[in-house]
Structure 1
């Protein structure tokens, strides 16, 4: 256990940041899973709606500084490609 005041504070800060990061990581997984499920069901309307939500949520995480802009662009691009593939099939 920490003996210094600053070390105790650092432990508390780490716990808070860990919880916040876990929440955001889970959020990204869930919103992408919704798009994947809609694409698997070949439901264009549901996939488009899920993609719009995912796009907004992922870019909001960029503004919070949780993920980089290029990472968000890559994730959104891959999801968009999947949604567009429904029409082709």
Structure 2
């Protein structure tokens, strides 16, 4: 348990940020899952539409510090590659 007043405040701040980051992470995962589902169904139009919604959500999470920049870029790149490969 925190002993100093500054440590207690830090614990309170972390608790608030944890809730916010959890909701942001959940939103991004939902968007990525919709892209995965569209890819699995083989529907290129739906996959492209879902990817256009997932990419800004992922990059917003990156800018908010929920994900690392390289993680976001890697995930979007791999999904984009898989969406392009649907017709091939």
Answer whether TM exceeds 0.5 for this pair: yes
Note the C-alpha offset of 1:2. Answer: 4.6
What's 1:51 paired with?
A: 51
| Range with greater deviation from structure 2 (77-86 or 20-29) | 20-29
Q: Which residue of 1 aligns with 2:62?
A: 62
Q: For 1:84 and 1:9, how far apart are their aligned partners in 2?
A: 48
Q: Corresponding residue for 1:81?
A: 81
TM-score w.r.t. the length of structure 1 is: 0.85
Compute the RMSD of aligned alpha carbons. Answer: 1.6
- Cα offset for 1:69? 2.0
1:38 Cα offset (Å): 0.6
Q: Secondary structure at the match of 2:42?
A: coil
User: How many matched pairs?
Assistant: 88
5+ residue gaps, structure 1? none
Distance in 2 (alpha carbons) for counterparts of 1:41 and 1:61: 27
Q: CA deviation at 1:65?
A: 2.8
Q: Aligned partners of 2:72, 2:65: CA distance in 1, in Å? A: 11
| Secondary structure of 1:86's aligned partner | coil
What TM-score, normalized by structure 2, do the two folds share?
Answer: 0.85
For structure 2, list consecutive stretches of 5 or more residues without a partner in the other structure.
none
